A and B are shown apart, each in its own frame.
Chain A
Amino acid sequence: MSQELIDAITDMREDDALEITDSLLETNTDPLAILDDCRKAMEIIGQRFEEGDCFVPELILAGEMLKEISVKVKPLIQEQTGTAKKLGKIVFGTVEGDIHDIAKDIVAFMLDINGFEVYDLGVDVPPARFVEKVQETGATVVGLSGFLTLAYDPMKETVAALKAADLPDVKVMIGGGQIDDQIRVYTGADAYGRDAMTAVSLAKQWIGGQ
């Protein structure tokens, strides 16, 4: 484990993090150990986000650093030692008619670094696409983002479509700037969340990955 690398990432020192990665690779550090340090750093950042000590810029920069380090490290990994077991599968997307993606990306990122397999369907996703993807993957949680009040009805339709498809084990969570409990009731979703960490704790609660 390189505490130096973890610190550089969590302190948002991008150049240092990349340099340290390079020198670790030069000294023949196991690439998998480097990726593991990244995962630890992401966990710390996620925790700080939850505690309100870190915000959108830090999440975006952390995501960038992770990408840059992966590019350096991944080609050096010889055999694919079966990626870490995921806690469960989540289908995620911004509902039909809405093309906002900033918050959706953040929530998907947080779910991902917390160990979930996230199928991100993107923005402007029609109800039928969510149903298809759930059927295809066997996911048990669906997350819907929506930022416009005009997203309320498409959310409601998506929940209805999932219900109609007879997927009794699937739970739906919704979120976005204008979403609150009144809208949870209105759409028939199982839960709503104000921020990305609520999405993570809901998923953990539902999927049972403590």
Chain B
Amino acid sequence: MFNAPENWKKLTAQEKRDARFASWMAPDLEFATPDAAQAYKQRIQMIKDATDLKKPERVPVLPWIGVYPTTYGGITAQEAMYDYEKLGTAFRKFNADFLPDGLASAALMGPGKVFDMLDYKIYHWPGHGTPVDTSYQCVEGEYMMADEYDQLINDPSGYFMRTYLPRAFGALAPWQMLGPFTDIIELPFVGLGMIPVGIPPVQEAFKTYLEAGQAVMEWISAVGPIDGASIATLGLPNIIGSFSKAPFDIIGDTMRGTRAIMLDMYRRPDKLLEAMDRLVPIAVEMGVRYATVSDTPMVFIPLHKGADGFMSNKDFQKFYWPTLKAVLLGLIENGTVPYLFVEGGYNQRLDIITDPDIPAGSTIWLFDHTDMKEAKKKLGGWACFGGNVPGSMMKAGTPQDIENYVKELIDGVAQDGGYILANGAVLDDTNPENLHALIDTGKKYGVYK
């Protein structure tokens, strides 16, 4: 937990960020050895220097990690989601053997049991719709209907509780019968307002909800120590303690779905724009809150449906960018660092995202297919950037291919600092030699003179 100093409100965004970094660097945790403590600080210092657009002692190496640690540890993705003993063994081994500069967190696999109990409809997961060794996957659909924009806009929490969550989770379907909390404003309304809570299926739903809460506690009390052990013995900071999303993606990914949101751009553009505006403070608050609770300044933001090919630049500027920008500014204002994962290609968007309203040295952009020379041209001196080692090469290339690719990146775009080495696609499928080539080349070759 990050404890804000008393004068918090008077601090500038930069001072707030420095305070968050200082707290991240001095965790409430007993390191196993002085070396681990030292390495932990050093790693964060490198990330901070890169964020500040300086040259760290060397290029930080922060690969995106998916289900590969399970394969590497000889277990399936399914086992990792259900058997926390096996999960721990696999992730501790992965972190110890590869030593990236950021922790591969066991928490990202998620608690399978909880999804089972709640009957989660929006995703398939290993052994539950997808093969046991594949990552979970989203089931495209309209989980919010076209005529529900006003409900979302008028009362987002109420809409989630009484409409969206009952659709997303089979076990919570009876919550559709609940009334809004805002009914309960005076003594006579208490009795009446509580009636839906007594309906037997609603009671059943709440019981399941409470049990799922218990199962989450079991999970987090297993996962916390797994990650804690890697942090304490290896000195690997946890990077992704917080997350948020672009409002367009919030609605487009798991609420309206791709097809529906794209039709909404034509059929009800004003409602879509209004709803996205409404989600801005919610997305900011979530990012800031998780950053505070987890005591990490980074707010992970994966970017999905604004990539090249998804829409024209004109629509990007109308539908995608304004509310994403507002979220970024809100996060920056609160001293957190938007840590963006720019999935797909952003070659057409580089001029738009390098918006002068966003202060230099306040964001991090890790790319997938974007041309890195162009990215360097546009982002250099404005924001820390990196990424781009292809997922195809991680799977089908040789260690030599990867070494060459990393060296080219470092020679070509990393020389002025403000750079982080990472792969382009979340790592699900590779081999140990290739991953070592990525990490070890970065560490050896990325030392700044």
Contact = CB atoms under 8 A, between A and B. Distances in A.
A182 B397 contact: yes
A179 B344 CA distance: 11
A195 B309 contact: yes
B402 to A, nearest CB: 11
B315 A55 contact: yes
Contact of B309 (A14, A56, A178, A182): A56
Interface string B386-421: 000011111111000000000000000000000000
A177 B130 CA distance: 19
A174 to B, nearest CB: 11
Interface in A89-134: 96-102, 124
A149 B429 contact: yes
A185 B137 contact: no
Interface in B169-207: none
Interface in A40-64: 53-57, 60-61, 64
Contact of B262 (A60, A96, A182): A60
Interface string A1-20: 00000000000101000000
A98 to B, nearest CB: 7
A146 B312 CA distance: 24
A152 B429 contact: yes
A55 B137 contact: no
B137 A178 contact: no
Contacts of A61: 262-263, 266
Contacts of A152: 392, 395-396, 429
A150 interface: yes
Contacts of B138: 99
B248 to A, nearest CB: 12
B391 A178 contact: yes
Report the contact-size class of chain B (Cβ under 8 Å from the partner): 35 or more
Contact of B134 (A57, A148, A182, A185): A148
B149 to A, nearest CB: 17
Interface string A146-165: 00111011000000000000
Interface residues of A, number: 32
A195 B345 CA distance: 13
Given A100-B137, A195-B309, A183 B396 contact: yes
B134 A97 contact: yes
B173 to A, nearest CB: 23
Nearest to B394: A149
Interface in B142-171: none
B263 A182 contact: no
Contact of B263 (A53, A64, A96, A183): A64
B108 interface: no
B20 to A, nearest CB: 34
A177 B345 CA distance: 9
A149 B140 contact: no
A55 B309 contact: yes
Interface centre among B129, B140, B262 (most CB of A within 10 A): B262
B101 interface: no
A149 B262 contact: no
Contacts of B397: 182
A53 B309 CA distance: 10
Please name the 5 residue pairs, one residue from A and one from B, whose CB atoms are nearest each other, closest first.
Answer: A57-B262, A186-B396, A149-B429, A149-B391, A182-B392
Given A55-B312, A149-B429, A182-B393, 16 more contacts: A55-B309, A55-B315, A56-B258, A61-B263, A97-B130, A124-B130, A148-B135, A148-B428, A149-B391, A149-B392, A149-B394, A149-B428, A178-B391, A179-B392, A182-B397, A186-B395
19 contacts: A12-B266, A53-B312, A56-B311, A57-B315, A61-B266, A98-B134, A98-B137, A99-B124, A148-B134, A148-B135, A149-B394, A149-B395, A149-B430, A150-B133, A152-B396, A183-B392, A183-B395, A185-B396, A186-B396
Interface of B: 67, 124, 129-131, 133-135, 137-140, 258-259, 262-263, 265-267, 309-312, 315, 344, 369, 390-397, 425, 427-430
